[in-house]
Amino acid sequence: MAVTTRFAPSPTGRLHVGNLRTALHNWMLARKAGGTFLLRIDDTDAARSEERFVDAIRADLAWLGLEPDGEERQSARLAHYEAAFERLKASGRVYPAYETAQELDLKRKVALGRGLPPIYDRAALSMSEAERAAKEAEGVAPHWRFKLDHDTPIEWLDGIRGPQHFDPAQLSDPVVRRADGSWLYMMPSAVDDIEMGVTDVLRGEDHVSNTAVQIQMFTALDAQPPRFAHEALLVGSEGKLSKRLGSLGCDAFRETGIEPEAIVALLARIGTSQPVEPIADRAALVESFDLGHFGRAPARFDETELARINTAIVHQLPFDHVARRLPEGMGAAAWESIRPNLERVGDAADWWNVVTGPIVTPEFDAETLAFLAEAARVLTWSDDPWGGLTGALKESTGRKGKALFLPLRQALTGRDHGPDMHTLLPLIGEDEARARLSRHAPA
Ligand code: GLU
């Protein structure tokens, strides 16, 4: 069967790095299998969902190059949930309950006080018709719970966690519908996974107990459950679930000059047995993707590591990829010359300013000034003006090493370090180079 995965964010905020990781893994899982990757907007919570977040989710995925093959929205599928709900009602798998939030809270406290797990006691299941009618007459509308099948143990082979086992009697019958008729996450998600032909659900391990419940929902709706895999959560470099990770998203990355390829390379591999490497080639990353490489320990997200990967990625980016982000007039040769010196693409402008000038040079002593005057005199232009210049000066002055190269670099660029002068000097050009060298000549 063709693989279909989905990324199902709720548009109640911006995507953070943990969400991006889940999206990436679902994208990779689908791509590796030649399957379909869906974006499903989980917007049944009308009060908290916002259109600007839907737009931002699309934009973030596009920036990362994780374009979905299709998009679905839960708010457009309410009739499907209604139909599934009616079926579950007809088969006695959902039941009305009338407890208030306060009553439920009290039940939980009493259970905990007795040292019992705070599982819903199913009091609503044993209400008589008359008791229900009395509630309705009082104007109390019911919320609805899914009735777990206590006789069927829940089991699945998790793609990351291995064999999983849940005793349904140890779980509360989940509320699937609120008294106002609105849907909670659990049932619409299962209905969508069935109707959209989702074959693989890959999500965070905070969903493991939801999976247990949803497996029974699939069965209750006469559907085969998909394969499930739950990845360990993402933690900060200090090993804790940090607040910072919750607010770190594409905007922050873009602003600090992090390339999407760097985020992808890092998020593809952290928490797996494979090394994090600056792999800019998406196809290679996809090829190496395998749920079997994922570990159970939390994945550590380290911003220093991201910066390191980013630098290595920047050094690989081809001109065409960055051209529109470079200063006016900066061409392929300049990009290739400057690229090895960059940590961020945005810093290319600094080096381009060095090429175009003006530059500020240090104060040179008399001996160095004489040397630079000699350099201006012997400068000739060729395919390799730097090789020619340094060769001639070595000959005529006997200087070598740092004594030869550093004053030239300083006079020509105003810096002590930088791109290879063999490639940089041709960019500066003959007239400008001569001017920079002879500017220091004693009048
Ligand atoms: N909207 C849910 C979430 O963001 C989706 C979970 C799932 O993948 O089923 O947590």
What's the pLDDT tens digit per position in 82-113?
Answer: 999 999 999 999 999 999 999 999 999 999 99
Nearest to 361 by CA among 415, 409, 414: 414
Q: Whose CA is nearest to atom 4 of ligand 1?
A: 9
Using only C-alpha atoms, the chain has a radius of gyration, in whole angstroms, of 32
Is 329 in contact with 355 (CB distance < 8 Å)?
Answer: no
From the CA of 204, give the closest atom in ligand 1.
8
Q: Which ranges in 169-298 belong to alpha helices (H)?
A: 186-195, 208-220, 243-247, 250-255, 260-269, 282-288
pLDDT higher than 60, residue 442: no
Please provide the CATH number assigned to the domain covering 4-72+184-233. 3.40.50.620
Q: Whose CA is nearest to atom 10 of ligand 1?
A: 9
From the CA of 189, give the closest atom in ligand 1.
9
243-314 fold: Glutamyl-tRNA Synthetase; domain 2 (1.10.1160)
Of all residues in the chain, what percent carry a pLDDT higher than 90? 95
Options 3.40.50.10490, 1.10.10.350, 1.20.140.10, 1.10.150.240; CATH for 366-438 is 1.10.10.350
Distance 67 CA to ligand 1 centre (A): 18
- Residue spans per domain, the chain: 4-72+184-233, 80-152+161-177, 243-314, 319-356, 366-438
Name 162's bridge partners: 158
From the CA of 42, give the closest atom in ligand 1.
1
Nearest to 145 by CA among 173, 166, 123: 173
From the CA of 19, give the closest atom in ligand 1.
4
Whole-angstrom distance, CA of residue 147 vs CA of residue 122: 9
Name 73's bridge partners: 41
pLDDT digits (tens, 9 = 90+) for 268-303: 999 999 999 999 999 999 999 999 999 999 999 999
From 43, 45, 207, mutation site for ligand 1 pocket: most ligand atoms within 8 A of C-beta: 207
Distance 239 CA to ligand 1 centre (A): 24
Query: How is domain 80-152+161-177 classified at the architecture level of CATH?
Result: Alpha-Beta Complex (3.90)
Q: What is the mean pLDDT of residues 166-195?
A: 97
From the CA of 7, give the closest atom in ligand 1.
8
pLDDT digits (tens, 9 = 90+) for 43-89: 999 999 999 999 999 999 999 999 999 999 999 999 999 999 999 99
Nearest to 33 by CA among 7, 72, 4: 4
Band of pLDDT at residue 441, cut at 50, 70 and 90: low
From 21, 192, 203, 211, mutation site for ligand 1 pocket: most ligand atoms within 8 A of C-beta: 203
Contacts of the segment 133-142: beta carbons below 8 A, 24+ positions apart: 135/98, 140/98, 140/179, 141/179, 141/180, 142/96, 142/97, 142/98, 142/179
From 42, 75, 215, mutation site for ligand 1 pocket: most ligand atoms within 8 A of C-beta: 42
Whole-angstrom distance, CA of residue 124 vs CA of residue 147: 11
Distance 10 CA to ligand 1 centre (A): 7
Go through the chain and tell me how many residues it has.
443
pLDDT digits (tens, 9 = 90+) for 19-31: 999 999 999 999 9
Backbone φ and ψ for 254, nearest 5 degrees, come out as -60, -45
pLDDT higher than 90, residue 240: no
| Residue 246: predicted pLDDT | 81
From the CA of 22, give the closest atom in ligand 1.
8
Residues with CB under 6 A from ligand 1: 8-10, 42, 185, 189, 203, 207
Mean pLDDT of the chain: 95
Nearest to 70 by CA among 7, 155, 20: 7
Distance 2 CA to ligand 1 centre (A): 22
pLDDT higher than 80, residue 443: no
pLDDT digits (tens, 9 = 90+) for 200-228: 999 999 999 999 999 999 999 999 999 99
Distance 89 CA to ligand 1 centre (A): 24
pLDDT digits (tens, 9 = 90+) for 298-318: 999 999 999 999 999 999 999
Band of pLDDT at residue 440, cut at 50, 70 and 90: low
pLDDT higher than 80, residue 239: no
By three-state DSSP, how is residue 102 classified? helix
Distance 19 CA to ligand 1 centre (A): 10
Q: What is this structure's pTM?
A: 0.92
Cβ partners under 8 Å of residue 59, min gap 6: 250
CB neighbourhood size of 354 (10 A): 20
DSSP string, 384-409: -HHHHHHHHHHHHH---HHHHHHHHH
Whole-angstrom distance, CA of residue 217 vs CA of residue 213: 7
pLDDT digits (tens, 9 = 90+) for 157-175: 999 999 999 999 999 999 9
By three-state DSSP, how is residue 154 classified? strand
